[in-house]
Homo-oligomer: A and B are copies of this chain.
Amino acid sequence: MATLGDIAVSAAFNIVGAFAFLLAFALLRLQPINDRVYFPKWYISGKRSSPMHAGGSFVGKFVNLNFKTYFTFLNWMPQALKMSEAEIIDHAGLDSAVFLRIYLLGLKIFVPMAAVALVVLIPVNVSDGTLYSLNKDLVISNIDKLSISNVRSKSIKFFFHISMQYLFTFWTCYLLYKEYSRVASMRLRFLASQGRRAEQFTVLVRNIPHVSGRSTSDSVESFFRKNHPEHYLCHQAVYNANKFARLVQKRDRLQNWLDYNQLKFERNPEKRPRRKNCFLGLWGEKNDSIDFYKHQIKELDKKLTMERQKVLKDPKAIMPAAFVSFNSRWGAAVCAQTQQSKNPTLWLTKWAPEPRDIYWKNLAIPFVSLTIRRFIISVAVFALIFFYMIPIAFVQSLANLEGLEKVAPFLTPVTELKFIKSFLQGFLPGLALKIFLFALPRALMIMSKVEGYVAKSTLERKAAAKYYYFMLVNVFLGSIIAGTAFQQLRAFLHESATQIPRTIGVSIPMKATFFITYIMVDGWAGIASEILRLKPLVKFHLKNMLIVKTERDRVKAMDPGSVDFPETLPSLQLYFLLGLVYAVVTPILLPFILVFFAFAYFVYRHQVINVYNQEYESAGAFWPHVHRCIIWSLLISQLLLMGLLSTKEALSSTPLIIVLPILTLAFHNYCKNRFEPAFRKYPLEEAMDKDLEDRPSESDVKLKSFLADAYLHPIFRSFEEVESVELRVDKRRAHSPSPSRSSSSSSDDDSHHLEDEPSEEEDEPSQEEAVLPLHYEYEPPSDAYHYVAEVLSNVYEYGTEPYHN
């Protein structure tokens, strides 16, 4: 049991650590050389150009010599707060703005709660003082004296705790309601304010039945012409291009190596780079690297051409799925929300995600296997959640000092030092947990991908949900129970429904110190390291040294990615859970959570404004998930308090508390009915409004050309572009560069190097012929083809609009 002193040491450590990080951040971000690491968003939005090209001395291009700026190293905080919410939505999208609101919600919930709890409950807890008398027998930390454990059994004072639980529940629900309503209206306003976008008109149809002697395209065409005669416009078949995509990826990798070697050669022209030719270049004869990679790429290009032709010509490569577009938002809304076929497992429709949100790989999964996949993954997640705990519990029992001394008795002299003891007790358990949690999100993301969701946003939400379950069982329950009972699941199965909350409830106050250190290590330090961006910093400079040749390579190297929702959302939700559970039990924990929320709010506001560049826009689609998690946290806190009080022989209080979960569930139900449809469905009223607004300016023909290949697999698009570039370069035709070239960088990350490659000049005549059949094959409504040329620029403009203008 850690004492208050231990916690103070740990807190000091963490505060010093966080300040060190902040200081490092302040110093690093002021250096022009790091500008692209700490402000990439502004480069991407085009509002900032490289400071290295700006005036000043040569050193000044890399190091900030204006020493005045170093004294104001915390001034990013007020700067981060300057931007209004509307501006953030404009600048970074609604997802980011809504994400920031979660931290704000945390502050709104916990600031008054902490104030009330500290003022009311701490005096109540301290005044009773059972623990003083028990002190001799039990090892009890000082913090326990401030907690509910200190109140005598059967005391009338539990009335305070119960009324506080009521107060906190109502307060939380009130804020949740307000927030849900606000986010829902923000979402609707955001959707309404958007211009013409392909996903507004498009529905993803899956499980298209196979009719012998008829292509999928024909089936789709005739089905929708018949059943949506006034609204159907066109459709885009879905190709299974996974193998092709893998090859393109491989080519990219080889290209990177080639770039690296060419750069090396340029810088050091007297020595041509060489590599061993066997087993990943580890041994064997040495060859010329540049020739080797050029040869490999050429081989691969042949394969690519063949594979592409196979995909486009083989009817088996066309999946029984299609993106069906309508001539009005109303038509698409109708199709997405209704059942199409007599057999409800065929012709399944749902809103198409926006093109850049689609996870193309999963579109190739046959629909029938989805159920089985989901079943298998849910079993796997269950196993993961309940067996991951065993190593954690083992490590934690090590990290427990007594355990450590038993395992490694030779360490005793060291661990007996007071300072090191405090450090270990305060720091180790949290750290151990953190290390275990590191590999997890990737595993969960892979699981979600196997489940077969087709939108990246859904994948991230599902991965986040799995991670939350994991944290709930392993971090929360695991930390509370593991010390007392190893095999929770087994224990719970053999315990009665009333016994379970008691078992957990009674351990809750004892674990407060652990969670306080956890909040500091995971929360505070995590946020501080978030702002420092150490990994991207190193990565950027490495890439800059090794492979960056052109400005576009540099842009790619600085790519900041999106906010990591699958990891941040669950840990956020864990803090909500901790706050709600301990608000009544050990209110001294609340200030630590408050510091986390405030600090994280500043940091993420800064990051969202200056760093992250969202890959897709789901218009806050994750909010229902966040809301549900907080409601669950409330329920858990109520049940655990009930269990805890029943061990305190305050059984008469049970009926008083049992009302709360019922009310909370009723509230949740109400919110679900009231707000959730705004996140799942597109109301016809809204669709009609938008349609009427746009109708004068839109003709069907224009719309058709706009939609024609908005939902083409990006791999085809990039390849096609590559070829047009190749043609241009090779045949010296009088092409004026297409306006979309520079702006299309985000949609064809995979192969944009090709454009600038002198090595690509050896062109094969067979490739040119392959271009034309490609168009004739995949252009779904053949008459739309004529518009493709003029349209492509529209599409790209649309596809990348929020980033690149």
Contacts and interface: CB of A to CB of B under 8 A. Distances in A.
A716 interface: no
Contacts of A227: 330, 684-685, 688
Interface string A475-488: 00000000000000
Nearest to A683: B339
B345 A674 contact: yes
Contacts of A337: 337-339
Given A226-B688, A684-B227, A677 B344 contact: yes
Given A227-B685, A686-B342, A496 B498 contact: no
A188 interface: yes
A396 to B, nearest CB: 26
Interface string A681-710: 111111010000000000000000000000
State which size class the interface on A falls in: 35 or more
A333 interface: yes
A387 interface: no
Most buried by B among A188, A493, A496, A666: A496
A268 interface: no
Interface string A204-240: 0000000000000000000100111010000000000
A494 interface: yes
A342 B188 contact: yes
A338 B344 contact: no
A334 interface: yes
Contacts of A497: 492-497
Contact of A338 (B334, B347, B495, B676): B334
Contacts of A223: 685
A193 to B, nearest CB: 14
Most buried by B among A228, A497, A675: A497
Contacts of A682: 339
A186 to B, nearest CB: 13
A341 interface: yes
Interface in A488-543: 492-499
Contact of A341 (B226, B338, B685): B685
A494 B492 CA distance: 13
A343 to B, nearest CB: 8
A681 B677 CA distance: 18
A246 B417 CA distance: 88
Contact of A681 (B339, B493, B494, B688): B339
Interface in A320-356: 330, 333-334, 337-342, 344-345, 347
A333 B344 contact: no
A174 interface: no
Given A371-B670, A497-B492, A498-B493, A677 B338 contact: no
B496 A683 contact: no
B666 A375 contact: yes
Interface in A52-108: none
A510 to B, nearest CB: 24
A673 interface: yes
Contacts of A496: 493-497, 499
A390 to B, nearest CB: 20
Contacts of A338: 333-334, 337-338, 681, 683-684
A678 interface: yes
A341 B226 CA distance: 27
A677 B371 contact: no
Contacts of A493: 496-498
Contacts of A676: 344
Contacts of A330: 227
A339 B495 contact: no
A188 B339 CA distance: 14
A339 B226 contact: no
Interface in A434-493: 492-493
A604 B630 CA distance: 53
Contacts of A685: 223, 227, 340-342, 347
A680 to B, nearest CB: 9
A673 B339 contact: no
Contact of A230 (B230, B492, B498, B686): B230
A27 to B, nearest CB: 50
Nearest to A666: B375
A214 to B, nearest CB: 17
A684 B338 CA distance: 7
Contacts of A669: 371
Given A493-B496, A496-B496, A677 B333 contact: no
A245 B230 CA distance: 45
Contacts of A375: 666
A670 B368 CA distance: 11
25 contacts: A226-B688, A227-B330, A227-B684, A228-B684, A230-B230, A333-B338, A334-B338, A337-B337, A339-B683, A340-B683, A340-B685, A341-B683, A342-B685, A342-B686, A344-B674, A344-B676, A344-B677, A344-B678, A344-B681, A345-B674, A371-B669, A493-B498, A494-B496, A494-B497, A494-B499
Given A339-B681, A339-B683, 6 more contacts: A228-B684, A338-B684, A340-B685, A344-B683, A345-B674, A371-B669
Kindly list the 10 A-B residue pairs having the minimum CB-CB distance in the complex, ordered from nearest: A344-B677, A337-B338, A339-B681, A339-B683, A494-B496, A227-B688, A334-B334, A496-B496, A495-B496, A493-B498
